[in-house]
Structure 1
């Protein structure tokens, strides 16, 4: 049986409901929209939370409710509302949801640049713009993406009455969209705002010790391996047995996939490029020109996904290959990031306005590990290419 959209992503299943915290968030969000929609200044509502904390789930549910009220000719009238995400694979999911839902339209979901440019050209203001993964918005001009402004969030604010954004600086993956932990402060100082922090973990089903272990690792710290009968956390000495385990898990329940840090060469549309992990050799994920997200295509069991194909998605089990950029410092017993070994050159396109880039690059690498290690609901399998780190992990 093939997994459905609901099983793979942030959308709640028919039998599921928002948690009490998510319900409080939704109530506060709608109160904020109602209070700010007719004010002269744009209002900002910020949703904070770690990967897997249910941010996208509550955002999608709230946007669905907003559009339902809007299109049923309620007191909201005929608002022009949009949900924006700067991530191709996540946009595919949103458009698939729209195609299967009588309330939503595919045009409700946009990438930021086309929406910004259209609103600017027509000199229009949107009513409410929801921004999922706002930490992926550009913070500098980008000719490739046809964005000529200085900051996409500012451009969206300039053309909206209310902006609702999901923001987690620990999921920033490129210098051209680099946000410091206090990157929103200048906006909050200028506009009426409210915020809500989601601190529950909805994706990773393991107990708090599992979540704490992952959080510690992605900050460079090593702790004894936790044990939880509800979450399968294993370290592997070779990539092939890890992949065999993923295949077994996928055969039994679906949505088990291999993913890796961007430490292996890859050039778009130039043949097949491979990820190696000990005796394992698998191709990188291919350019996906279909309407189906990478995680939902059965043939991708034979590929290795990247942060760009898996961010924002739920897997049941994630096999994570930590490439050469993730090493080990035996003197301080720490996990370290080495930007020189990171192959994602797009992530490190130079900027002259951020000072010393080395610590920022290191943080981007660790952010990518954070994204990858929090994909699996029921299990995480790890293999480290670096021999010293691999030995240390096996000894935990």
Structure 2
């Protein structure tokens, strides 16, 4: 018997009234899939779009359509533990869906290669998290997970956002994507319409400009999206708790680099002191757990999830340059070392490492549908953001 779908997940991944843009994308991808299923070689459908453009909604419509149809052998993979939990939970609430076909990429690849399995369609969410190199520690011994998935399926539908790349082992850019696809047929389906946030285009541009080290301007006041800069992280947390009581799904988030104090691995600033999020094998994703209000979220628990309100603590790896009036990225102060792991096949420049770190912040500040509260660990950066917020110049 199919159980009812969780309301929070349903609201994020399924919409009753798809927009015309979304309907058009789905119609076009359907036509491409039908064509690919009759082809002699595997083909790739690339759904590309920035954070909040509704990529997952489009993907889930396709998943629901094909993965409940017994004529097709299908699988859905995502290389993100929290999203994997969410998809398994949603899958169990969709009639005729076989939840065992929702897997992590390494699990599917190893299983299919061992058992000589082939698929009609493989769907890949957050494809920018696929390994683009061997990762034996994670039981992946191939060279490129997209290559392996293409070898297993007639059609691979991948969702990419190149601005959500933050680790060398999962490095992707367009050049590497098209090199991996090689001579296989492919088609791009671009999604450039913002759905997650009620923020205006100008407000989204402000977020992008901030993380791209462009001169900081006052936050545009031209929508119902709520924005406020706080001098104290402790006060911001009180506001987040208040919003969480009223509306739910409101959380504190931060980028890394906070010093360990007395051995504690916490985010500590003024009166604020909370532990980082912790990976938990329980089925409920971090963003949905009531207890996560007393933890600080990161990219590892929040990528791909919506919140209602976000309290963003910009960590020590971001500073302020008075001469250029820009926020700066300081890689030396970024404490999550996975970002900096070297590769034999690609040499990353300092600017590329800075872009990885900026991408983390950009994704986190766009998690909130209805509001963003902001503070910064760096005194000069916080003072400048406060000044702009209070005086508008």
Q: Which TM-score band applies after superposition, normalised by the shorter structure?
A: over 0.9
Q: Report Cα offsets for 1:298-344 as digits up to 9, x if no partner.
A: 01111101110001000000111110111112222222211111111
Q: Report Cα offsets for 1:97-156 as digits up to 9, x if no partner.
A: 011222322112110001111111122221100100000111111112111111111111
**1:228 Cα deviation from its structure 2 partner:** 3.5
Q: Summarize the alignment of residues 270-281 of structure 1 with structure 2, pairs less than 5 Å apart.
A: 273-281=265-273
Structure-1 residue corresponding to 2:332: 340
Secondary structure in structure 2 of the residue aligned to 1:383: strand
Report the Cα distance in structure 2 between the residues aligned to 1:223 and 1:17, rounded to whole angstroms. Answer: 36
Structure-2 residue corresponding to 1:57: 57
Secondary structure in structure 2 of the residue aligned to 1:335: strand
Structure-2 residue corresponding to 1:249: 243
Report the Cα distance in structure 2 between the residues aligned to 1:356 and 1:301, rounded to whole angstroms. Answer: 36
**1:235 Cα deviation from its structure 2 partner:** 0.9
Which structure 1 residue ranges, 4+ long, deviate > 3 Å from structure 2? 3-10
Structure-2 residue corresponding to 1:368: 360
Q: Summarize the alignment of residues 377-388 of structure 1 with structure 2, pairs less than 5 Å apart.
A: 377-388=369-380
Report the Cα distance in structure 1 between the residues aligned to 2:17 and 2:8, rounded to whole angstroms. Answer: 13
Structure-1 residue corresponding to 2:31: 31
**1:158 Cα deviation from its structure 2 partner:** 1.2
Report the Cα distance in structure 2 between the residues aligned to 1:288 and 1:30, rounded to whole angstroms. Answer: 37
Report the Cα distance in structure 1 between the residues aligned to 2:19 and 2:10, rounded to whole angstroms. Answer: 19
What are the ranges of 5 or more consecutive residues in structure 2 without an aligned counterpart? 389-393
**1:374 Cα deviation from its structure 2 partner:** 0.6
**1:6 Cα deviation from its structure 2 partner:** 3.2
Structure-1 residue corresponding to 2:188: 195
**1:272 Cα deviation from its structure 2 partner:** 5.8
Structure-1 residue corresponding to 2:391: none
**1:370 Cα deviation from its structure 2 partner:** 1.0
Structure-2 residue corresponding to 1:154: 147
Whether contact under 8 Å (1:213, 1:223) holds in the other structure is yes
Report the Cα distance in structure 1 between the residues aligned to 2:115 and 2:348, rounded to whole angstroms. Answer: 40
**1:170 Cα deviation from its structure 2 partner:** 0.3
Structure-2 residue corresponding to 1:259: 253
What are the ranges of 5 or more consecutive residues in structure 1 without an aligned counterpart? 72-76
Aligned length: 381
Structure-2 residue corresponding to 1:314: 306
TM-score, normalisation: structure 1? 0.92
**1:190 Cα deviation from its structure 2 partner:** 1.5
Whether contact under 8 Å (1:8, 1:255) holds in the other structure is no
Q: Among 90, 95, 115, which residue is 2:83 paired with? A: 90
Report the Cα distance in structure 1 between the residues aligned to 2:119 and 2:266, rounded to whole angstroms. Answer: 44
Q: Quick check: 1:135 aligned with 2:128?
A: yes
TM-score, normalisation: structure 2? 0.93
Structure-2 residue corresponding to 1:183: 176
Structure-2 residue corresponding to 1:302: 294
Whether contact under 8 Å (1:8, 1:313) holds in the other structure is no
Secondary structure in structure 2 of the residue aligned to 1:113: helix
Report the Cα distance in structure 2 between the residues aligned to 1:5 and 1:312, rounded to whole angstroms. Answer: 17
**1:58 Cα deviation from its structure 2 partner:** 0.8
**1:189 Cα deviation from its structure 2 partner:** 4.2
Structure-2 residue corresponding to 1:74: none
Q: Quick check: 1:227 aligned with 2:258?
A: no
Q: Report Cα offsets for 1:266-317 as digits up to 9, x if no partner.
A: 8xxxx96210133211111122120000011001111101110001000000
What CA RMSD, in Å, does the superposition of the two structures yield over aligned residues? 1.7
Secondary structure in structure 2 of the residue aligned to 1:362: helix
Report the Cα distance in structure 2 between the residues aligned to 1:299 and 1:101, rounded to whole angstroms. Answer: 27
**1:212 Cα deviation from its structure 2 partner:** 1.2
Q: Quick check: 1:164 aligned with 2:157?
A: yes
Secondary structure in structure 2 of the residue aligned to 1:116: helix
